[in-house]
Amino acid sequence: MARMRGAAKTVPAQEVERRPSLVDDAYAALKRAIHDSSFAPGYQASEQEIALRLGMSRTPVHEAVIRLQEDGLVRVLSRRGVLICALAPEDMREIYDVIVAVEGRAAELLASLPDAAREAVASELADYTEAMACAWQDRDLPSWGQADARFHRALVERAGNGRMTRIIQTITDQSHRARMLTLKLRRELGASVTEHRAIIDAIRLGDSAAAQGRVHDHRLRARDELLPLLESFGLKHL
């Protein structure tokens, strides 16, 4: 039988598997560069320039840029390349409003889990909190920040609501620079350990109202400490 014209070309399985990996690598590399300010807020370049700086080809970088625009970290400008989004200090107040709502609801859901599941989550959160305590004692701020981020990520992820997880990841990415900028200036890092332990206790007891309330108070205190610090820098963009 003669081969049909216009038949779809078969793509080798190895190539199909490789493509997502390249895009994921480009996405992770570009996000890291934004987080550590290698690509600072307000930086603008073509996709080709970005690809050259990352040592990657343009195609996966193009796909990564699309994903990062959905995350709110970059903007694609028609015929003008890619712009790394800046975060105004006043944006942090809105971000904290979302964090308080999402994490508070997550804590309620965790406290309503069956006993065994609730204890497993509480133990995981306790491990991150004790890592924070050790890092604070050693004045190891990067390790403190990593353990704190893991605590808050697990708090939402273990609640089992995928939409909440995606929302919190997006705003965490957006606010990362502000948190890192002020980490050395914040005086109440030790208080976070105490507040985390109170949240864990409420989850262990299955007290949804207390879990929600303690997360609410914890995040509002952090917000009220962070925002004045940002204002004191006198920066219009982060």
Distance CA 22, CA 61 (A): 9
| Residue 96, C-beta contacts closer than 8 angstroms, at least 6 positions apart | 219, 220, 222, 223, 226
The residue from 24, 49, 84 where one domain ends is: 84
Quote the percentage of the chain above a pLDDT of 90.
Answer: 56
192 domain residue, yes or no: yes
128 domain residue, yes or no: yes
What mean pLDDT value characterizes the chain? 86
Q: Which of 27, 101, 18 is CA-nearest to residue 63?
A: 27
- Beta-sheet strand order (sheet of 74-77): 44-45, 81-84, 74-77
Residues 77 and 185 in one domain: no
Which pLDDT band holds residue 13 (cuts at 50, 70, 90)?
Answer: very low
Q: What pLDDT is attached to residue 11?
A: 42
Residues 156 and 220 in one domain: yes
127 domain residue, yes or no: yes
Q: What pLDDT is attached to residue 233?
A: 66
3 domain residue, yes or no: no
39: Cα separation from own chain's centroid: 17
61 domain residue, yes or no: yes
Q: Could you tell me where the DSSP H helices lie in 89-161?
A: 91-111, 115-137, 141-157
pLDDT in tens, 139-174: 898 899 889 999 999 999 999 999 999 999 888 887
Residue 61 has pLDDT above 60, yes or no: yes
80 domain residue, yes or no: yes
Q: What pLDDT is attached to residue 70?
A: 87
| Its pTM surpasses 0.85 | no
179 domain residue, yes or no: yes
Amino acid letter, 85 = C
pLDDT in tens, 113-133: 999 999 999 999 999 999 999
The residue from 56, 84, 112 where one domain ends is: 84
129 domain residue, yes or no: yes
The structural domain count of the chain equals 2
Residues 99 and 65 in one domain: no
For 53, the token pair is 């700086």
For 43, the token pair is 């930086």
How many CB atoms neighbour CB 47 within 10 A? 16
For 155, the token pair is 């708090």
Q: What pLDDT is attached to residue 49?
A: 94
Q: What pLDDT is attached to residue 81?
A: 92
Residues 40 and 127 in one domain: no
Average pLDDT (19-44) is 85
Paired residues of 77 in beta bridges: 81
Range of the domain at 38: 15-84
Residue 9 has pLDDT above 70, yes or no: no
Residues 71 and 145 in one domain: no
